[in-house]
Structure 1
Amino acid sequence: MSKKTDKLKKLTLTDLIAKKEQKDKAKLAFKDIYVNSLGGAIVAQRPSDEVILETIDLMGNNDSAKEIVAAFKHLIYTSIPVLKEPSLQEAYGCTEPDEIVMKLFDIGEVLEVGAAIMEMAGVKDIGETIKN
C-alpha cells in the first residue's frame, strides 16, 4: 500500500448512507443561469441521468457543431421547466415544443446554457466524456 492510500479515509456505512441522502438532494437541485440576451437568469433543474445519457448519445462520437447544438437543445428543453409552458411556445410561434430553445436563445447561449446544465449534473468536460 502506498502512503497516499494509507491516509485515505475509510468510508463507513453511515458515510455511505449520508452520501445517498446528498445524492437524492442533488437530484432535486435548481440553478439560476444568466442569459445575456434575455437580461436575466432562467431556472434550470438538474437533469436526470437518463437525460444526460440521451444528450451524450445525441452528440455522437465527433465534434459536429450541429450535433452538439441539437443535443444541448434537447437538454435545455428538458431541464428548464418554463420552456414547456404552452403560452410561451404560442407567443414565439412554435410548431414543435422544443423549437422554443432556438427561438429564445442564440447558438452561443445554447452552448453556454447546455454546458452549465451538464456541469450541474456533474459532467464538467463534455468533450472528454464523449471521447472516453
Structure 2
Amino acid sequence: MAVSIEELINEKEAIEAHKKRQYDVETSAGTFTMKPPSKSFVAEAMGLSEGSDEYLVYHCTVSPDLSDKKLQDAYGCVEPTDIVDRLLDPGEISAVAKKIMQCAGYGKDVRAELHEEVKN
C-alpha cells in the first residue's frame, strides 16, 4: 500500500534529517566525516572531464577541513582538490566517492511491484 499524505507530513522532520545526515568513512589517512551531495552538486561534479571523484571527495568532506591553508601548504597543493590525491591512495579516491554517492541514495536498488489491473 502506498504511503499516505498524512504519514509523509508526520514524518517530515525525520525525512529532512535523513537527507542532512553525516557519516564517517574510513580511509588510509584516517576517518573522514562526509556530508551527502545535493543533486545540483552531483550534476556539476559529473560534468567534469576529469577529477570528478577528487572534486566530490574534497567538497563533501566535513572533517578534516581539506581546505585548511596549513594543510594545503604542508602537502604542496597547487589546486585545492590536490589534497585528496596527496592524502588518499589512487584506488581509494574512487571508492570513497562511490561510498559518498551510495550514502546519498545514488545507485540504490528500490523494490517495485506491479499493480494488478482491477477488472469490472
TM-score, with normalisation over the residues of structure 2? 0.76
Q: Which residue of 2 aligns with 1:79?
A: 60
Q: Return 5+ residue gaps in structure 1 as ranges.
A: 1-8, 60-66, 126-132
| TM-fit CA distance, 1:21 | 2.8
Shift in CA distance, 41/11, structure 1 to aligned 2, threshold 3 Å: same
Q: CA deviation at 1:16?
A: 2.1
CA radius of gyration, larger in: 2
Q: Deviations over 1:76-112 (max 9, x none)?
A: 0110032122221111111211111111112111011
Name the CA shift for 1:20/1:56 in 2 (closer, same or farther; >3 Å). Answer: farther
State how many pairs are aligned.
106
Instruction: Give structure 2 stretches of 5+ with no counterpart.
Output: 109-120
Identity of aligned residues (%): 33
1:15 is matched with 7
Q: For the residues of structure 2 that align with 1:90 and 1:19, how far apart are their CA atoms?
A: 45
1:113 corresponds to 2:96: yes
Partner of 1:124: 107
More helix, by proportion: 1
Residue 37 of structure 2 aligns to a residue in which SS?
coil
One-letter code aligned to 1:11: V
Structure 1 position 10, deviation (Å): 3.0
Identify which of 13, 19, 30 aligns with 2:22: 30
Is it true that 1:42 corresponds to 2:23 in the alignment?
no
Partner of 2:48: 58
SS at match of 1:58: coil
Task: Name the residue aligned to 2:85.
Answer: 102
1:19 Cα offset (Å): 4.9
Q: TM-score, normalised by structure 1?
A: 0.70
User: Which residue in the other structure is 2:74 paired with?
Assistant: 91
How far the C-alpha of 1:123 sits from its partner, in A, is: 0.7
